Amino acid sequence: MTEITAHHGLFKNTNLHVDDTGGSGRPVVLIHGWPLSGESWSEQVPVLAAAGYRVITYDRRGFGRSDKPKTGYDYDTLTDDLHSLLEELDLRDVTLIGFSMGGGEVARYFSRFGDERVRSVVFASAVPPYLLTSDDNPEGPLSADAAASMTAGLTADENEFYDGFTTDFFSVDGVLKVTEQQRQDAIALAKQSSKVAALAAMASFGSTDFRGDLPRVTVPTLVIHGDGDGTVPFEGSGARTHAAIAHSELVVIAGAPHGVNVSHADEWNRAVLEFLKK
């Protein structure tokens, strides 16, 4: 457990909470989804560490145990935070695994910093290439009305919003695919975020276009997604990301919701470990 300091953006001394298993294994950086924290990788960290990898998680600015500045929730700044992590820990030959919102930082990383430090990447239930439905993005799975409804719901009542959001996050066709305790754990993580950060980050993942970033991903790539994902639907996101990165591999987990790394942890972990061996 440590902290690194991001020295960019309006708030130039933003401390990011980092958990690092250490060791001499190849580094794997896990980038969490919205509105959670690095603790959401509890089903992955011990498994990856036991397989010999050095596993690093961090809490995105505004979330979890990291500082919560009022600005800096655009993807350029968030990706700069990721790069600060790689630089300060001097991580090389690294695999970046981005879940949901975290897939945006993975995509944007190549446009901003290239592949010098990166061995491979995983887009896990991830938001690229572009969520928002628009005239030039008709396949985008997030309508403007749905985005506005999410913003209004979180603004009005955080408790009610996170209760509904985590239910959908872990459900397929109205059936919860995790235990109630696992859902409550996710709510507790969500409530560690600042409301300012949660709203700004929601706007970012909903409206950022990564279609220009994906062709820059030159390293081995895995796209992994649940086919029952109602939060970031596969056809509008994972399927399109796989098509945009010609060399990518695809694993679709049957009957899995958005939070597939928890609901189908064993299957998810096996697929990622197999990819990491390559």
Q: Is the pLDDT of residue 91 over 60?
A: yes
Distances (CA, A) of 275 to 178, 208, 264: 25, 28, 17
Q: Which residues of 169-191 are buried (b: 16+ CB within 10 A; e: fewer)?
A: bbbbeeebbbeeebbebbbebbe
Higher confidence at residue 12 or residue 123?
123
Residue 4: its pLDDT value, please? 59
What is the C-alpha separation between 92 and 6, in angstroms, rounded? 19
Residue 10 — pLDDT band, cuts 50, 70, 90? very low
DSSP class of 142: B
Q: Are strands 171-172 and 27-31 parallel, antiparallel or unpaired?
A: unpaired
Within 8 A by CB and 6+ apart from 84, the residues are 4, 5, 6, 7, 8, 16
The pair of structure tokens assigned to 28 is: 């794997």
What kind and span of H or E run contains 5?
A: strand 2-6
What is the C-alpha separation between 156 and 164, in angstroms, rounded? 13
- Calculate mean pLDDT across residues 152-177: 98
The answer to whether 268 and 253 are in contact (CB under 8 A) is yes
Number of domains in the chain: 1
Residues labelled as active-site residues: 100, 229, 258
Mean pLDDT, the chain, rounded, equals: 95
Vertex 203: Cα angle to 159 and 218 (nearest 5) = 120
Q: Is the pLDDT of residue 108 over 60?
A: yes
Residue 182: its pLDDT value, please? 98
- Entry pTM: 0.96
Q: Which residues of 29-54 are buried (b: 16+ CB within 10 A; e: fewer)?
A: bbbbbbbbbbbbbebbbebbbeeebb
Q: Are strands 27-31 and 94-99 parallel, antiparallel or unpaired?
A: parallel
Q: Are strands 2-6 and 14-20 parallel, antiparallel or unpaired?
A: antiparallel
Specify whether the backbone of 125 is left (phi greater than 0), alpha (psi in -120 to 50) or beta: left
| Residue 44, domain extent | 2-276
What is the C-alpha separation between 150 and 153, in angstroms, rounded? 5
We report the CATH number of the domain holding residue 128 as: 3.40.50.1820
Percent of the chain predicted with pLDDT > 90: 94
Q: Of 9-13, 182-186, 187-191, where does mean pLDDT reach its minimum?
A: 9-13
Q: Are strands 94-99 and 54-58 parallel, antiparallel or unpaired?
A: unpaired
